[in-house]
Structure 1
Amino acid sequence: MRVMHAKQIHFTIGDRTLLEINELSIHQGDRIGLIGKNGEGKSLLLNYLLGLLDTNPLVSWNGSVGYFRQLNIEEEPSWNHLSGGEKTLRKLEQLFNESHDILLLDEPTNNLDWQRIDEVEKKLLHLQGAYVIVSHDRKLLDEVCTKIWELEDGEVTEYKGNYSDYEDAKALKVQHQQEEYEAYVKEKKRLTERMHQKEKQSKGMNKPPSRMGNSEWQLYKGKASGKKQKVERVSKVIQDRIDRLEKVEKPFEWSEIKMDYTLVEPIHRKNIFVAKDLTMNIGNRQLYTIDHVKLKTGSKTAIIGANGSGKTTLLHQLLYGNTELEITNQASIGHFDQTLEALPEDKTILEYVQENSSLSQHVIRIILGRLRFFDTDVHKKIGILSGGERVKAALARLLTGSYNVLVIDEPTNHLDIEAITSLEGLIQDYPGTVLFVTHDRRFIEETADHLWFLENGSLTTYQGTLNNYYTDKQKTNCSDDTVQRIMTLENKLTELISRLSIPDPKNDNASLEEEYEETLHMLKELKKQ
């Protein structure tokens, strides 16, 4: 059953068309993720559908609608003492308890840590109604969505499946475009070569063949002229075919462009620093106590912990407030603070980024391009940039600076998915050491090879990726009894394979095959636990 139907969605500001969508529908049970670059109009679309803009939308709703507004949580007077994350949870709890038929959720997991995001995911998965969720959290979109709406250039394209399915579909689109581009280039080359051959043939008809005398040429000249005109006509037909070829643009892949530079001063020590006896108190509360921690040279290390666990405080203590820190004198540290220092309003992006860098402008422009500052964008004044653009400019300055160690606090805040993906690639390519804090689970999966878990006032470390960590944790969580049963079944499976591979007339092979299948099934089920 259709619970929302909208037609002729149109919205402009000045001479700019922000929304131009023929039709949109939401059906009962739909779990839709609405994605798009910053500034595309995702929040605007939700407000339009709800009739909150100065328009008369052709929208019909069949059921009650709940709306979670981004960065504009309606507070109760008793909420003043709550953090941003706690206010978000209160508002979401109210919406879920109201049992709406349709929910429109605009960035509902902003300000939430992993544990809270997991709680929201579970609630969304158990909702009976439909919802549209705007989010930059790709892991969330994977877990809770069965459709993706991509808003681009004012239009919505619908994709079936979750965010990973959307990525696969987009990759397939790029592959098809690449194939069409290659076919276009090949055909254009073939026609161009043939046309050049005809042009060359035509020019050769202006002079007599080497074995033909002058008088003979005069008799042949008229006939040659006719042949030449025929060749020229063929050449013109070929040129017309080239002109009529439907041009196909080469798909652009930023992954093909790497940060091709070396660090100003590489570090030859095994560790950037070793810290001992780190303690931090806030009032009468002990935030954390850390006996010993070291940052490995060349590592990409993520600090993971709940809101209020002290991640940002730890970064600041390591950078500015700890006398027990043994740090190599080869380290040149660049720091990105989530609060952002006051940026120079009158400078252009390019001026701001390159004043702190020894890299060539060519490399700087590549890095700015990977962060989606194209061509004339780099000459924009910082004073007119959006919040997300300011974050990207500050990150570009950090990545191009004369540093070999980067300390980054919440770099993905205010960035859209495209920019986050670009930053992932830049961090992967960065040849130095990176220590960072983020709530973006997918970002950590893509970039980190070391993990620091700050929880319950202490720090534990893990050498490996987040996926490695979950795999190892799953193994560790198996009970001793389960481990013993797995080992027994694996031994039995080995024995059955051996008996089946060496035929024996005394064996009932059909029974052995059946036993093998049963044992294999039991083993798989145990390993899932």
Structure 2
Amino acid sequence: MRVMHAKQIHYTIGDRTLLDINELSIHQGDRIGLIGKNGEGKSLLLNYLLGLLDTKSLVSWNGRVGYFRQLNVEGDPSWDRLSGGEKTLRKLEQLFNASHDILLLDEPTNNLDWQRIDELENRLAHFQGAYVIVSHDRKMLDEVCTKIWELEDGNVTEYKGGFSDYEAAKALKVQHQQEEYEAYVKEKKRLTDRMHQKEQQAKVMNKPPSRMGNSEWQLYKGKASGKKQRVERVSKVIQDRIDRLEKVEKPFEWAEIKMDYTLVKPIHRKNIFIAKDLTMNINNQHLYTIDHIKLKTGSKTAIIGANGSGKTTLLHHLLYGNTELEITNQASIGHFDQTLEALPEDKTILEYVQENSALPQHVIRIILGRLRFFDTDVHKKISVLSGGERVKTALARLLTGTYNVLVIDEPTNHLDIEAITSLEGLIHDYPGTILFVTHDRRFIEETADHLWFLEDGSLTTYQGTLTDYYNDKQKPGHSDETLQRIMTLENKLTELISRISIPDSKIDTATLEKEYEETLHTLKELKKQ
């Protein structure tokens, strides 16, 4: 049964057409993910379908519709005391308790941690009606969607399946375009070569053969002229065929563009820093106590934890706190804060990015290009940029700066899926060390090779990717409790090695070595289980 039907969806602002869709339908049980670049009009489309725009629309609904706006809590002062995550949870709770038949959800995962996103996925899985969800969380789109609507250039293209199915379909589309492009180039070259051959043949006919005398040439000239005209007609026919060839554009592949730069100042030590005895209390509330932690040189390390666990606080503690931090003097640290310090409004993107960089301009332009700042885009003033564009500008400055260690807090906020995917590639190519916080699970899967789990006031580490971590959790005999013990023991081993390797007359080295052997034995036994 069709629960929504819209025809002749058209919306313009000035001379720009934002929506131009012939027909759109939602059926009972549809689980639709609406995706598209920032500024394409995803929220605009939802508002159009709901009749919230100042325009006449041909939309019919069959059922009660619930709408989750991006933190729309106007008129309720009690919401002012809540955090972003708490506001989102309260709004979603109200929505699910209202017995709607259709839900339109605009970025419902903003400000939610993994646990809350899992809970939302579970509620959507058990929802009996239909829904359309706008989200940049690719993992959630895989879990809860059976259709993807891609909004691009004002049109919606529908793909069956979740986000991974959409990616596969898009990749196949690019492959077909590449094949068509290669066939087009091959046929155009064949015809062009043939035409040039005929043109050369016609030119030769203007000259007498070397062994032909002048009187003979005068007699032969008329016949030669006829032949030349026939050759020229063939050349024109070939040219017409070239002109009628349907042009196929070469698909653009980001894999062809690499960072291709080395660090201004490489680090030759094994670890960027080693920190000990970190304790943080805020407003008489204990956040965490960390006995020992180290950041491995060259690693891409993600800090994972629930909202309020202290991830951002830990970053600031390490960067600016009065901690007993042993940091290499070779480290040059760049910091991206999710609050985004004021950017210079009068500078262009390119001016702002390159003033902090030792890289040549063509490399900077490549990196800006990978973040989707093309051609004249780089000359835009920062004052006219959107929130997402400002984030990308700040990240570009960081990635091209004279740093060898990057500390990044929530880099994916305000970015669309295309920009997030581009940032993943840039971080993968970056030759230095990165420590970052994000709620984007897919982003962590694609970029991190070390994990720090900040839970229940303590920190445990894991050397490997998020996929490796989940695979280890699923191994027979390794329960969550056992895996936690393994991670704790591995951290303890690291700490013991560090203490043994640094001579100190106050430390009983024999006792430490004995403790190391006992810990190692316990760890091996646990891993055998």
Q: Label 1:479 to 1:321 Cα distance change in 2 as closer, same or farther (>3 A).
A: closer
Superposed, 1:91-170 pairs within 5 Å as 91-170=91-170
Match of 1:448 in 2: 448
Instruction: Assess if the C-alpha contact under 8 Å between 2:451 and 2:461 holds in 1.
Output: yes
Residues 478 and 275 (structure 1 numbering): CA distance in 2 closer, same or farther, change over 3 Å? closer
Paired with 1:479 and 1:453, the residues of 2 have a C-alpha distance of 17
The offset of 1:28, in angstroms, is 0.2
Quote the RMSD (CA, aligned, Å): 1.2
Which amino acid in the other structure matches residue 125 of structure 2?
L
Within 2, Cα distance between the matches of 1:277 and 1:143?
40
Q: Any conservation in 1 of the 2:278–2:323 contact (CA below 8 Å)?
A: no
Matching of residue 295 in structure 1 with residue 295 in structure 2: yes
SS in 1 for 2:344: coil
Looking at structure 1, the residues matched to 84 and 357 of structure 2 have their Cα atoms a distance apart, in angstroms, of 36
Q: How far did residue 233 of structure 1 move? A: 0.8
Looking at structure 2, the residues matched to 385 and 205 of structure 1 have their Cα atoms a distance apart, in angstroms, of 63
Aligned residues of 2:317 and 2:323 also touching (Cα < 8 A): no
In structure 2, the residue matched to 1:439 is 439
| Amino acid of the structure 2 residue aligned with 1:469 | Y
Equivalent position SS for 1:335: strand
Whether the aligned pair in 2 keeps the contact of 1:408 and 1:434 (CA below 8 Å) is: yes
Q: 1:16 to 1:86 in 2, by over 3 A?
A: same
Unmatched runs of 5 consecutive residues or more in structure 2: 481-529
CA contact (8 A) 2:473 2:479 kept: no
Q: What is the aligned partner in structure 1 of residue 386 from structure 2?
A: 386
- Asked if residue 367 in structure 1 is aligned to residue 367 in structure 2, the reply is yes
Q: Which residue of 2 aligns with 1:6?
A: 6
SS at match of 2:274: strand
Q: Secondary structure at the match of 1:104?
A: strand
Shift of 1:212: 1.6
* Superposed displacement of residue 475, structure 1: 1.3
For residues 75 and 470 of structure 1, what CA distance do their matches in structure 2 show?
Answer: 43
SS at structure 1 position matched to 2:29: coil
Contact 1:73 1:88 in 2 (8 A): no
The one-letter amino acid paired with 1:286 is: H
For 2:455, the aligned partner's letter is: E
Q: Secondary structure at the match of 1:373?
A: coil
Q: Distance in 1 between matches of 2:308 and 2:414?
A: 20
Cα offsets for 1:444-502 (capped at 9, x unmatched): 0000000000010000000000000000011165579xxxxxxxxxxxxxxxxxxxxxx
> Displacement, 1:13?
1.0
Q: Which shifted more, 71-80 or 331-340?
A: 71-80
Secondary structure (helix, strand or coil) at the match of 2:475 reads helix
In the other structure, the counterpart of 1:487 is none
1:249-278: CA deviations, max 9, x gaps?
000011211101100011111111111111
Q: In structure 1, the residue corresponding to 2:67 is in which secondary structure?
A: strand
Letter in 2 for 1:62: N
Query: In 2, Cα distance between the equivalents of 1:94 and 1:207?
Result: 90
Q: Give the match for residue 309 of structure 2.
A: 309
Equivalences for 1:386-425 in 2 at 5 Å?
Answer: 386-425=386-425
Match of 1:471 in 2: 471
2:225 aligns with: 225
The DSSP-based 3-state class of the residue aligned with 2:81 is: coil
Q: Note the alpha carbon deviations across 1:133-172, whole angstroms, 9 max, x for none.
A: 0000000100000000011111111111101000001000
Amino acid across the alignment from 1:418: E
CA distance 1:280–1:75, shift in 2 (3 Å)? farther
**C-alpha distance in structure 2 between counterparts of 1:211 and 1:464, whole Å:** 81
Q: Residue in 1 aligned with 2:353?
A: 353
Q: 1:384 to 1:15 in 2, by over 3 A?
A: same
After superposition, the Cα gap between the structure-2 partners of 1:75 and 1:471, relative to the gap in structure 1 and judged at 3 Å, is farther
The SS at the match of 1:39 is coil
Asked whether the equivalents of residues 71 and 87 of structure 2 are also in contact (C-alpha less than 8 Å), the reply is no
Partner SS, residue 53 of structure 1: coil
- The residue that corresponds to 1:246 in the other structure is 246
Q: Is the 8 A contact 2:275 2:323 kept in 1?
A: no
2:336 corresponds to 1:336:
yes
Equivalent position of 1:321 in the other structure:
321
Unpaired runs of at least 5, structure 1? 481-529
Q: What is the TM-score when the length of structure 2 is the normalising length? A: 0.89
The amino acid of 2:103's aligned partner reads: L
Q: d(CA) in 2 for partners of 1:335 and 1:279? A: 22
Between the aligned residues of both structures, percent identity stands at 90
1:314-352 Cα offsets, whole Å, 9 max, x none, are 001111113311111111111100001110000000000
Contact 1:105 1:131 (8 Å CA) reproduced? yes
In 2: Cα distance, 1:114 partner to 1:322 partner:
31
For the 8 Å contact 1:75–1:87, the answer to whether it is kept is no
The answer to whether the 8 A contact 2:73-2:79 is kept is no
Name the residue aligned to 1:271: 271
- One-letter code aligned to 1:47: N
Asked if the contact 2:71–2:88 (Cα under 8 Å) also holds between the matched residues in 1, the reply is no
